[in-house]
Amino acid sequence: MPSVNNNGQKEWSRQRTERVRASVDFDGFFASVEQQARPRLRGRPVGMVPFAGTRSTCVIACSKEAKSRGVKNVMPVADALRVCPDLVLAPQSPDLYRRAHNAPLSEIVAVIPIAAVKSIDELTCDLGPRDIRDPESLAGRIKRRIRDHVGPYVTCSIGFAAHRQLAKIATPTFCAAPMRSSSTNCAAMICTTRSARRSRYICRCTPSASWATPGATST
């Protein structure tokens, strides 16, 4: 419940228990794992396909380089090659992805407990009081551990909000900024205020930041 301060304005009691959830979404997980495991694919537009030797299928996942060229998930291979003629088609490696799934999770657990694993490339965490005060620092620690102990090509986007659905909105599909070895990669966040009526979107790869209310579209 809000209290009234000396100026007659309502404010939220500091004794109120806040809950903030983080949504962690790995960027183009299948393609990024392939780039981390196979150096010949690094820096190239990669489209993952169910199996090799056919073009009568669709792209099931694509790298950041492919996305920046207009390739999308579930796009027919013929259309993907039309928009990106030098697209590298790579057959999926399910066993590799299952093994790779555990590595970044181990690094995240070293920073913050995982509340739920939603899929092979998505999970949620509940923030403690210290992390609520500085979610950007938390995101930086998670990204640095993944970069240093898993590899720079397996990246993630992180959103913060009062509940999972809103936190997931904060995670972008990908960041087009060039990868730098010293970068912790893109962190997009919705950090709610005490009244949960104001949120912010931050891309750490660019200097711009915009504000939006929950339910509005961040730019």
Please indicate, yes or no, whether residues 101 and 207 belong to a single structural domain of this protein. yes
Supply φ then ψ for residue 198, to 5 degrees.
-135, 135
Q: Is 122 among the residues known to form the active site?
A: yes
pLDDT band at 7 (very low <50, low <70, confident <90, very high): low
Separation of alpha carbons 154 and 187, rounded Å:
14
Name the CA dihedral angle for 80, 82, 83, 88, rounded to a multiple of 10 degrees.
50
In this prediction, residue 5 has a pLDDT band, given cuts at 50, 70 and 90, of low
- Global confidence as pTM: 0.70
Q: Is the pLDDT of residue 82 over 80?
A: yes
Q: How many domains does the chain have?
A: 2
**Which whole-number Å values give the CA distances from 116 to 67, 123, 163, in the listed order?**
28, 6, 13
Same domain, 58 and 16: no
Residues 156 and 180 placed together within one structural domain of the fold: yes
Range of the domain at 110: 2-28+94-212
**Which residue has tokens 């003629």?**
85
Name the least confident of 13-22, 41-50, 157-166, 206-215.
206-215
Pick from 26, 97, 102, 117: nearest CA to 64: 26
Task: List the CATH number of the domain containing 73.
Answer: 3.40.1170.60
In a domain, 162, yes or no: yes
Q: Is 217 a domain residue?
A: no
Looking at the structure, tell me whether residues 8 and 107 fall in a common domain: yes
Token match 């790298």: residue? 63
Q: Indicate whether 73 and 179 sit together in one domain.
A: no
Q: Report which residue type is found at 6.
A: N
According to the model, what pLDDT value does residue 46 have? 97
34, 107, 122, 136: which is the annotated catalytic residue? 122
Residues 140 and 69 in one domain: no
Of 51, 72, 91, which residue is a domain's last?
Answer: 91
Q: Is the pLDDT of residue 78 over 90?
A: yes
Give all strands (DSSP E) within 122-195, no chain letters. Answer: 122-126, 156-161
Report if residue 182 sits inside a domain: yes
107 lies in some domain: yes
Cβ–Cβ under 8 Å, residues 24 and 109: no
Dist. CA 78–CA 217, nearest whole Å: 32
Q: Is 4 exposed, middle or buried (0-12, 13-18, 19+ CB in 10 A)?
A: exposed
Query: Is residue 106 located within the same domain as residue 62?
Result: no
Give yes or no for residue 120 having a pLDDT over 70.
yes
The string of pLDDT tens digits covering residues 17-49 is 467 889 999 989 999 999 999 999 999 999 999
Tell me which H or E stretch contains 201.
strand 199-202
Q: Is residue 170 part of a domain?
A: yes
- Residue that is last in its domain, among 72, 91, 110: 91
In a domain, 219, yes or no: no
Domain assignment of residue 218, yes or no: no
Say what percent of the chain tops pLDDT 70: 69
Tell me: do 102 and 201 sit in the same domain. yes
Backbone angles phi, psi at 155, to 5 degrees: -115, 165
